[in-house]
Amino acid sequence: MKKVNILAAPFVQEMMKTTANLYRLGWDERNGGNISYRLDEKWVQPFLDTTNVIREIPMIFDASILAGKYFIVTGSGKYFKNVKDDPEANLGIVRVQENGKTLDLLWGLSDNAVPTSELPAHFMSHIARLSVDPDNRIIMHNHATHLLAMSFTHDLSEKALTRTLWQMCTECLVVFPEGVSIIPWLVPGTNEIGEATAAKMLETRLVLWPQHGIYGAGRDMDEVFGLIETAEKAAQVYTYVCAQGGVKQTITDDNLWLLADAFGVTPHADYLDERV
């Protein structure tokens, strides 16, 4: 059966549009940032012969738990601004081999390119999120500007940061009621930072990398992009508030409890004062 052009695949189009948007927002300068998107085999088969392996790519992480699973990923050293013009050079569709330490390249990553150096961290986070949410598909990392700035100026306790973000925009408690996790500063591209992030991903879908950026997880591209976008908007408002002289009034804990009730969400335990 003749295959449909892979560039028409919805998941390729999503990656092209999202990377362009992230670059437009200034969250993925140069080759900063990366995305991995778990795909179903039935999504891939209309576009690719899944028995045709272009080449094998070794990994530094054992992803045996993900054996047989398919992902579309951004490439190492690739600029998000170039994805829409040359997706085959900047994206790749890979399948995890049974040994867990090798990837089958099925499309993309031309000229011997390889997946993002953060792929082990992505896979660790996929494994963590799948253990608590079997529908999770996407891990996204970028350098959202105002969240990054807050990691220099704000108390880096998870409770304090989360409360500040909740108080900056009414929708924040509804969008990320579980809060935002934070890891220590660690060298990117290592298993160490991947393990620290994955441990936090068991509890939250947002993990702040201080002085670096943010990691987000979601069931689809809109969810994870919207999750980061909402937290970043709150961080931007916080920046403006500080520049305007600081907080004079805010959303109270009583207000936040009313929000939680109205939208049927459960705030992170111990992050709010008890109900009056």
Residue ranges at the known binding site for Zn(2+): 141, 143, 212
Taking CA atoms, 239 is separated from 14, 25, 166, 256, in Å, by 31, 17, 14, 21
The active-site residue, picked from 14, 88, 118, 229, is: 118
Strand duo 213-218 + 206-209: pairing: antiparallel
Active site residue 232: no
| DSSP class per residue in 79-114 | -GGGTTT-HHHHEEEEEE-TTSSEEEEEEE-TTT--
Measured distance CA(221)–CA(226) in Å, rounded: 8
Measured distance CA(160)–CA(120) in Å, rounded: 30
Give the residue from 22, 9, 144 showing the smallest Cα distance to 79: 22
Q: Give backbone dihedrals phi and psi of 191, rounded to 5 degrees, phi first.
A: -65, -30
Residue ranges of the binding site: 141, 143, 212
Which are the catalytic amino acids? 118
